[in-house]
């Protein structure tokens, strides 16, 4: 598994569950899910480090 596939994994799994092709036009759904996942993870790390 490449690094890019590992980074895109959460969004790809959500698209597969919804029955959407993550490589097609609905790839924005994958992008949105990945953005939310990594935003939450990043904020959690920042809050842990700052607190």
**Whether 11 contacts 30, CB under 8 Å:** yes
- For position 45, what pLDDT does the model report? 97
pLDDT at 1 over 80: no
DSSP per-residue string spanning the chain = --HHHHHHHHHHHHHHHHT--TTSTTHHHHHHHHHHHHHHHHHHHHHHHH-
Q: Which two tokens stand for residue 50?
A: 């700052």
Residue pLDDT, tens place only, 11-49 = 999 999 999 998 887 788 999 999 999 999 999 999 999
**pTM assigned to the model:** 0.81
pLDDT at 50 over 90: yes
């Amino acid at each position: 598994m490449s690094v890019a596939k590992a980074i895109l994994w959460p969004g790809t799994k959500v698209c597969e569950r919804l029955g959407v092709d993550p490589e097609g036009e609905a790839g924005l759904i994958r992008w949105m899910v990945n953005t939310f996942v990594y935003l939450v993870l990043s904020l959690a790390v920042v809050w842990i480090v700052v607190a």
